Structure 1
Amino acid sequence: MKNQWRVIIILILVLLVAAFAVVNVSEVPISLLFTTVHWPLVLVILVSLVAGALITFLVSMGTIMTQKREHRNEIDVATKEIDELREENAALKRRVNNVSSENGQQNQKIEEL
């Protein structure tokens, strides 16, 4: 059912683009540095659209790469902090076990007396 709706929507969009192309077939002059070319208006619009989409994609990829790098750095810092906390936790457990064993030895000595 979903696929049918997608196909219908795509067909409607294709029809709209085709109608847009038919309506905008008149040629327009485009000045390129030392020359002027005449292209159909629809082609000028579509090339501009693709160029804009490409520029947007490239800029967003730069932003995404920067965010990934920052995220990776944050993960590295968090991993290091977790490792330090685990070491501290292990040291505290050893300390607690030492105190417990010392208390046990003292209790044994008291019982022997």
Structure 2
Amino acid sequence: MEKTMEIQISSELLDGLVLSLLTREDYYGYAITQEIQKTINISDSTMYPVLKRLQKNDWLTTYDQPFQGRNRRYYRITEAGTQHLEQLLGAWKTYKKNLDGIFDQTQIPPVALGGQG
């Protein structure tokens, strides 16, 4: 099993992940959290404020659909959300390229075999 490391995720990166997910299809809130949790550790209580912020900025819209006697609130990316996502993707590619420039040149010394002495 691969050991994972907790890295702090910025709100912009989280916005980008949600918007990117919504380019594939519309999702309801819990399903968004479940999909994002496949990649990063995030709680339901973190995700809903993100969705509210994205909606407030007109980057996504909502609609309700009946499901087993209740309504599910679905989220859909807007045209403005798509434009914002394009900006985030551009920034991410630059950021990733800069980080890769450092990480790709890393030279980890070989582990010494046996004890010292």
Q: Tell me which interval the TM-score lies in, with the shorter structure as reference length.
A: 0.3 to 0.5
Q: Indicate the structure with greater helix content.
A: 1
State TM-score, norm by structure 1.
Answer: 0.38
> Of the two, which has the highest radius of gyration?
1
Higher RCO by CA contacts (8 Å cutoff, separation 6 or greater): 2
- Where is the strand percentage greater, Structure 1 or Structure 2? 2
